[in-house]
Amino acid sequence: MYNGSRYRQRTSIRNNSFGNRSSKPFQQGGFSRGFSANNRRGGGQRRSQLEGANINMFIRKAAGAAPEQLQDEAQNFDSFNLHETLKQNIAACGYNVPTPVQSQAIKPILEGRDVIGLASTGTGKTAAFLIPLINKIYLNRAQKALIIVPTRELALQINEEFRNLARNMKLYSAFIIGGTNMYRQIQDLRRNPHLVIATPGRLKDLIERKAIYLEDYSHIVLDEVDLMVDIGFINDIKFFVSLMPKVRQSLFFSATISPKIQDILRYFVTDPVTISVKKQDTSENVTQDVVKVERMEKKVDQLHDLLIKDGFDKVLIFGRTKHGIEKLNKELEFRGFKVGAIHGNKRQSQRQRILQSFKQNQIQILLATDVASRGLDIDNVTHVINYDLPQTYDDYIHRIGRTGRAGKTGFALTFVN
């Protein structure tokens, strides 16, 4: 267990690292009091279901497991009937052998089967559906694919992976997400892209504007469906399904299948192949521990003392509210850290720029609400810190899944009262 006083650094160390500002006392009514008050009630949001839970649920040693990509040694991407250029792109992306979800999904998707994939984040499922779709569209350019995802960041990441996998194949994509220029997206759709990646809200807007017709798409992917249902898009999903052609290929990926999701499935897939590649609840490669908060007004000091320790090289910190994250961002900047924040009040261009800075190691710390807890694949995140408790245990699992990826060891720390 991490204890704040145990790791408290002397003021002289703090001054040498970040200048005299970092030891400056807080004024009454300043950051500490305001942030802790916001923290206690989540800025008006729902109380976390994990408040008062046994802290042992957040403590676990990494088992030093082998990378989850381990496969039958005889299998590789040559075993699939893929175009040579696509296989070259797969190798250039660093994919040596298929992950379990790729092994089970690529062949039936190439054969035109509907697929229900039960797969956790970080299992390689994006490439599992992109690789066969790219191959099919390349061989028959009259086909088009629509991918619907819950978050802007996931849409952008899928678009980036599509471009890498489809390099030199003259296939084009468009992504339609909120927070960006709708007119430009309409222009992109008029260019008749082979692949469209969309978030539900903006997709619905463009359907109503008659800028996109779902009956034109022969392949449909719903990704991270459980999150779309959780955040209130179930009626939109049913609406989208009602507009799709009856003859289509439908690919459906979710971490869980709740009764609400089963209701969607009845209308969405036909004679599907079901695959299940669920990781354990928490990654074998993530060491999990807690930080006991001594006093709420000293919470940010405890965070500071962790961040200046050796090994905290690339840190993702989660908070519950946009307001709280923004306050913490300003405070850490004041203390001399290289930090950025993404949340719903940021313009999409700002979110993209900050995320890119974190990926390229231009900033050491990324602060985020749960907008970043799903789908983002960021290399070499050394630590995930739950500065605020997540809403649910599932949210916790997705948060800490940002570290300990691709067989590497990561660390997750959760602040508890």
Report domain extents, the chain. 2-65+282-416, 77-277
C-alpha–C-alpha distance, residues 130 and 195, integer Å: 10
Distance of CA 206 to the CA centre of its chain: 25
288: β partners: 60, 412
The CA-CA-CA angle for residues 386, 230, 266, to 5°, reads 145
Nearest CA to 339 among 24, 18, 10? 18
pLDDT at position 346 is 81
Task: Provide the residue type at 415 as one letter.
Answer: F
Strand ranges inside 135-226, DSSP E: 145-148, 173-176, 195-198, 219-222
Nearest CA to 384 among 363, 360, 405? 405
- For residue 413, the surrounding DSSP H or E stretch is strand 410-416
Give the three-state DSSP class for 23: helix
Alpha helix (H) residue ranges in 232-274 = 234-243, 259-268
Give every residue of the chain whose pLDDT is below 70, as ranges: 1-47, 52-53, 63-74, 121-122, 278-283, 371-376, 406-407
CB 226 within 8 A of CB 254: yes
C-alpha–C-alpha distance, residues 210 and 55, integer Å: 51
pLDDT at position 406 is 66
Nearest CA to 345 among 364, 373, 324? 324
Helix axes 84-92, 152-165, angle to 10 degrees: 120
- In the 8-state DSSP scheme, what is residue 293? -
Tell me if 2-65+282-416 shares its fold with 77-277.
Answer: yes
CB 172 within 8 A of CB 194: yes
The two structure tokens encoding residue 350: 């700002």
Q: Report residue 101: phi and psi, to 5°.
A: -70, -35
Task: Provide the residue type at 371 as one letter.
Answer: V
- For residue 342, the surrounding DSSP H or E stretch is strand 339-342
The two structure tokens encoding residue 330: 């300003």
pLDDT at position 372 is 65
The two structure tokens encoding residue 211: 């800028």
The two structure tokens encoding residue 50: 């994990």
CB 253 within 8 A of CB 129: yes
C-alpha–C-alpha distance, residues 129 and 126, integer Å: 6
pLDDT at position 39 is 37
User: Fold for domain 2-65+282-416?
Assistant: Rossmann fold (3.40.50)
Nearest CA to 405 among 123, 155, 182, 141? 123
Nearest CA to 369 among 57, 38, 18, 37? 38
Segment 364-403, tens digit of pLDDT: 999 998 866 665 678 889 999 999 998 888 788 878 888 8
C-alpha–C-alpha distance, residues 254 and 226, integer Å: 6
Segment 238-266, tens digit of pLDDT: 999 999 999 999 999 987 788 888 888 88
The dotted CATH code for 77-277 is 3.40.50.300
